[in-house]
């Protein structure tokens, strides 16, 4: 009988069946070392988590030079890769989303799909990576629709938010035990939230209500790590499927509104796949990933 295809079989028998065969012996160690909790749908054939493992794990368990070359070109720095960490959230105090340093059960927090720690001479940096396979948007602000939010006016108006950033509901959502630090981080880096996003439409709604919420938080995490002295520089990268028609545009709009668009590059998955073409794996990693995710033209 002919294969019915992934639409008829949306889940792998085991989630690791979605990984390149050469990565499977390493994945348990990576999950343990990084403290990764699998997403609920990691076994889905369209799992962005597994997509990210397939794209980035080869540079952790094998040669990292090709990844360093790609990031060097994107950021205009001569970089060497120090480490690749998955589901990175950083210390709890950076964004102050957590009651303590570690999350409690069901406590939400910002995490990047991966963090690539790099060296540029004597300087150490981090590239926080957001991986998108088939999603059509980014995580949005729950505060804008929360019944506990009494300041919907700052959600509806960027000008109102810039004038009174402390009125943002996300500063301290209901049941939060301390103020979140998104705005103070941008204020320290650029002078104000508005100065951090000079291209945002003052006459429109808060630029972080929609697709801008997720990159805003992750860029704040990177900047916060710099301010805490953990790294010397930071960037936030979108790594997306080449034929995803939805996520590049909002990312590009967010980057264009930012004071430093160069800190918000994006990279199509085929660029990483091409860097794996000479990897000594069986089957060849570049070919396998290209066929698995239909990246080939």
* pLDDT score of 2 more than 80: no
Q: Which of 28-37, 128-137, 284-293 has the lowest mean pLDDT?
A: 284-293
Q: Collect all residues with Cβ–Cβ distance below 8 Å to 1 and sequence separation of at least 6.
A: none
Q: What is the pTM of this model?
A: 0.94
Question: What is the per-residue pLDDT for 279?
Answer: 53
CA 66-69-74 angle, to 5 degrees, is 130
Q: What is the mean pLDDT of residues 156-177?
A: 92
Q: Do 182 and 212 meet the contact criterion of CB atoms below 8 Å apart?
A: no
Residue 63 pLDDT: 87
Does the pLDDT value for residue 285 go beyond 80?
Answer: yes
Helix (H, G, I), strand (E, B) or coil at 112: strand
pLDDT reported for residue 296: 64
Q: What is the DSSP letter of 18?
A: G
pLDDT recorded at residue 281: 65
Average pLDDT over residues 151-178: 93
Burial 277-294 (b: 16+ CB within 10 A, else e): eebebeebbbebbbebbe
Distance (Å, whole) CA 71 – CA 124: 14
Given strand 112-120, what is the order of strands in its sheet?
A: 80-88, 112-120, 123-132, 233-240, 266-268
Residue 180 has pLDDT above 50, yes or no: yes
Mean pLDDT of 61-74: 93
Give the model confidence (pLDDT) of 254-275 as tens digits: 999 999 999 999 999 999 998 8
Q: What is the pLDDT of residue 208?
A: 96
Domain boundaries, the chain: 18-139+234-292, 141-209
Residue with the bigger pLDDT between 191 and 99: it is 191
Query: Residue 143 carries which DSSP code?
Result: G
């Amino acid at each position: 009988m002919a294969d019915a295809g992934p639409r008829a079989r949306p889940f792998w028998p085991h989630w690791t069946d979605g990984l390149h065969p050469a990565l499977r012996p390493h994945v348990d160690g990576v999950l343990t070392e990084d403290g990764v909790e699998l997403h609920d749908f990691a076994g889905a054939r369209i799992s962005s988590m597994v997509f990210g493992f397939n794209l980035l794990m080869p540079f952790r368990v094998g040669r990292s030079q090709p990844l360093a070359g790609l990031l060097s070109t994107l950021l205009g720095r001569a970089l060497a890769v120090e480490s690749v960490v998955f589901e990175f959230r950083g210390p709890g105090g950076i964004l102050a989303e957590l009651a303590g340093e570690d999350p409690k059960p069901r406590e939400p927090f910002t995490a990047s799909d991966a963090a690539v720690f790099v060296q540029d001479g004597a300087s150490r940096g981090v590239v926080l990576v957001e991986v998108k396979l088939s999603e059509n948007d980014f995580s949005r602000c729950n505060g804008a629709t929360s019944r506990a939010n009494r300041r919907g006016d700052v959600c509806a108006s960027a000008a109102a938010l810039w004038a009174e950033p402390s009125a943002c509901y996300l500063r301290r959502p209901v049941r939060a035990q301390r103020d979140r630090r998104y705005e103070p981080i941008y204020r320290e880096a650029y002078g104000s939230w508005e100065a951090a996003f000079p291209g945002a439409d003052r006459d429109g709604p808060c630029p972080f209500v929609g697709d801008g919420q997720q990159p805003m938080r992750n860029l704040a995490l990177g900047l916060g790590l710099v301010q805490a002295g953990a790294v010397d520089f930071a960037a936030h990268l979108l790594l997306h499927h080449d034929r995803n028609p939805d996520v590049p545009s909002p990312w590009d709009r967010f980057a264009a509104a930012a004071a430093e668009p160069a800190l918000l590059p994006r990279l199509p998955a085929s660029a990483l796949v091409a860097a794996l073409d000479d990897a000594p794996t069986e089957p060849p990693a570049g070919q396998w990933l290209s066929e698995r995710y239909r990246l080939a033209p």
